[in-house]
């Protein structure tokens, strides 16, 4: 259990660094998806199955699809130098 938590915590730190470290917005959004999925795994490790399902379906699924769609519509590639 402790080793699994350490692996998931390391994953959370890496993806959180990716959220603030990447230069392109689409990579930031994908790193945020990875972070939210890691949080869902933490909920599952705490035996909170409903929160796990809600995190995956609502946040990592629907909200992040909306974010990625909006970023794709904005076409941020023209602003990157």
Residues 52/1, Cβ–Cβ less than 8 Å: no
Structural fold of domain 2-78: 1.20.120
Which long-range contacts does 65-72 make (Cβ < 8 Å, 24+ apart)?
67/29, 67/32, 68/26, 68/29, 68/30, 71/25, 71/26, 71/29, 72/26
**Average pLDDT of the residues in 30-38:** 93
pLDDT-derived band at 15, boundaries 50, 70, 90? very high
pLDDT-derived band at 26, boundaries 50, 70, 90? confident
Task: Compute the distance between CA of residue 53 and CA of residue 55 in angstroms, rounded to an integer.
Answer: 5
What residues does each domain of the chain span? 2-78
Computed over every residue of the chain, the mean pLDDT equals 90
What is the token pair recorded at 33?
A: 């998806």
DSSP type of residue 62: I
Reported as a single tens digit per residue, the pLDDT across 47-76 is 999 999 999 999 888 888 898 888 888 876
What is the token pair recorded at 5?
A: 């938590």
pTM of the predicted model as reported, rounded to 2 decimal places? 0.83
């Amino acid at each position: 259990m402790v080793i699994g938590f350490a692996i998931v915590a390391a994953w959370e730190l890496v993806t959180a660094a990716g959220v603030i470290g990447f230069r392109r917005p689409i990579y930031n959004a994908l790193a945020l998806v990875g972070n939210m999925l890691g949080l869902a795994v933490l909920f599952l490790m705490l035996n909170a199955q409903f929160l796990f399902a809600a995190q995956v379906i609502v946040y990592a699924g629907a909200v992040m699809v909306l974010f990625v769609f909006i970023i794709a519509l904005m076409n941020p590639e023209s602003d990157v130098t």
